[in-house]
Amino acid sequence: MARIFITGSTDGLGLAAARTLLAEGHEVVIHARSKERAIAVGGFSALTAGLVIGDLSSAEDTRSIAGQINALGRMDAIIHNAGVYLGSDRGSTPEGHARTLAVNILAPYILTALVGQPDRLVYLSSGMHLSGGGPLDDIDWTKRHWNASQAYSESKLYVATLAAAVARHWPKVLSNAVDPGWVPTKMGGAGAPDDLEMGHQTQTWLAVSEDQAARVSGRYWHHRQPRMPSPEVLDTGFQDQLMDRLAELTGVRLF
């Protein structure tokens, strides 16, 4: 039995992953953006090993989430599932960052740095990361005209790169990125063509399976099959530049 923490686990793929892992007999710690979201899952939270609350668009809240997790004890695995998609404008977090950047990459970066190291880390990326090339000096979209699709693609390139960098720097931790596909969740929309079941099974498999195929690190996955990510993801120079930029934006150094 493993203990797993999942961000954004009150709906969509995060909730599906939590339910699957609970059904398999694992302990699951879930995360809600707010007390209202926690209430919405009602009795489900009573089945879990814990509930943490905080808005990942806020660095202060994200640090609080890290403290709440650490207070619950060490996790065997963490699935960085939470994400936002196609904001109509840049938005502004309490720290002044673009909301897409804050939720999709700054939050998992901060949590990775501040939460005690688990045995396994799983980061949700997207096939859209392949279109995510952009200037690292403007990852926060303070200079460019806002493009929601491009901002999302870039954030998913960065989170896949984070997974690869963690795999390189922390050899004792299995760190992988997952493309869950375009699935019919609230984010993906009812018309999304991919399979909802397959959309969460790769991350749960990577989080707990003892199959040799799952006990690897530094890979990019889609439906339990390794895929080749964008060249930037595996470029150690790009990894280092991105980690430096994220450290600058968050005030937290990971490596």
Place of tokens 């390139």: 157
- Cite the active site residues: 152, 156
Q: What angle do CA 5, 6, 11 make, to 5 degrees?
A: 145
Chain centroid to CA 17: 13
The DSSP symbol for 212 reads G
Distance from C-alpha of 177 to C-alpha of 222, rounded to nearest angstrom: 9
Contact 102, 95 (CB under 8 A): yes
CB atoms within 10 A of CB 205: 17
